[in-house]
Amino acid sequence: MRAMSGDDVLKAVDGCLAALGPVAGRDWEGVRAAGLEWSCRETVEHIAGDLIAYAGQLAGRPQDSYVPFEIRLDDGTDNAGLLDVVRATGALLDAAVRATPPHVRAFHPYPFRSADRQGFAAMGVAEVVLHTHDVTRALGVEYTPEDGLAEAVLGWLFPHVQPGPAAWPTLLWATGRGELPGRAPVTEWRWRNNLVIPAERIDLVGLRPVVARDIRLGGDGGLDWIEGGPYEGTREAAGFLVKAYEGGVHRPEFGVFALVRKEDGRAVGGIGFHSAPDEDGRVEIGYDLVEGARGQGYITEAVRALADWALARDDVHALFATVERENTASQAVLGRAGFTRVSEEDGSGAELAYELRR
């Protein structure tokens, strides 16, 4: 699995410095960065500002806003000095990523108001490589980020974007910076950190496509599972998520979630949607638990949390689930979560259907 790390931030920064260092003696203030309203100088200052801001979020861990500070350069700082600031702020973000536990999240506004350490690392890399592109294009300098960085950014921040034949052109297209054969131009865009839905004892942690792919292939997705996990249902669901992503129809908020205990950060199961809601606002859910976590109420808690989140949306009017007739434990879970049996009573069919309406 290609996880995002502080090393990726440093690689991105090194590539930026290698491209811009040789032209630090040129006028950056009088040249507008390609596609932006900022000058090349302002764009590089923005890179440094974002790197230190992301480091501050991970260090301060605010949940509702940015840490209230800004970076300010000393009067008379030249372009070479500005690049030293980029190097320093990149190192600070690298250190913050390394020091932050995997389950910790801090505020970021889009789209679900939080990000984890890998999300902040990915955002830092994105800011560096994309804005380095903007500056080098304006200055007539050749630049391509190090192999693997664009692919990692797409996998961690653009789960809604169908992969293209090459990662760097796809990332440029996805951020309105280029064309991609067979796809319409992008005029508005946002990246997407993964969704986490809190419950009482567990968090429902949305799986990014790169994580889902690793789980489907027999890995752990970078999660600390209790013995026996992930269970077969979670692996199968992860495979469906990957197919949707590769087909360009994945909606991250209606994906698959790992159930992670708050007390120790260990994953105990999975839950998620089979697809996005249909035209009537109905959506099917499924779930499973590692055997060692059963009988402790985790799934009931997870189903309630997922149902509350989904039914609070305008595009969801009903949830339904199907359960094998002999699986009385799962039927009891749905009953405790407020679902009503809607299948016929004649005993036909191998499964029973349950529904929960708004």
In a domain, 79, yes or no: yes
In a domain, 337, yes or no: yes
Contacts 24+ apart (CB under 8 A), 133-137: 133/34, 133/172, 133/177, 134/33, 134/34, 134/35, 134/36, 134/43, 134/177, 135/20, 135/28, 135/33, 135/34, 135/40, 135/43, 135/44, 136/19, 136/20, 137/33, 137/34, 137/35
Both 231 and 103 in one domain: the answer is no
In a domain, 61, yes or no: yes
The structure tokens 């949305």 sit at: 206
Provide the domain count of the chain: 2
pLDDT the model gives residue 251: 94
Both 244 and 280 in one domain: the answer is yes
pLDDT the model gives residue 349: 66
Both 203 and 339 in one domain: the answer is yes
Both 352 and 255 in one domain: the answer is yes
Backbone φ and ψ of 258, nearest 5°: -85, 145
pLDDT the model gives residue 344: 67
In a domain, 186, yes or no: no
Residue 12 sits in a domain of what CATH number?
1.20.120.450
Both 94 and 153 in one domain: the answer is yes
The structure tokens 């027999």 sit at: 218
CA 94 to chain centroid, in Å, comes to 18
pLDDT the model gives residue 346: 55
8 A C-beta contact, residue 145 and residue 18: no
Both 307 and 224 in one domain: the answer is yes
In a domain, 306, yes or no: yes
Both 214 and 325 in one domain: the answer is yes
Q: Which one of 140, 174, 208 terminates a domain?
A: 174
Q: Is 136 helix (H, G, I), strand (E, B) or coil?
A: helix
Both 11 and 115 in one domain: the answer is yes
Both 211 and 165 in one domain: the answer is no
pLDDT the model gives residue 348: 60
pLDDT the model gives residue 2: 79
Both 83 and 157 in one domain: the answer is yes
**C-alpha distance from residue 198 to each of 6, 102, 202, 335 (Å):** 27, 16, 7, 21
Beta bridge partner(s), residue 284: 320
Name the residue among 90, 96, 18, 6 with its Cα closest to residue 47. 90
Q: Give the chain's residues under pLDDT 50.
A: none
In a domain, 241, yes or no: yes
pLDDT the model gives residue 59: 98
CA distance 243 to 278: 18
Both 20 and 169 in one domain: the answer is yes
pLDDT the model gives residue 347: 59
Q: Which domain holds residue 18?
A: 6-174
In a domain, 66, yes or no: yes
In a domain, 180, yes or no: no
pLDDT the model gives residue 331: 95
Both 159 and 54 in one domain: the answer is yes
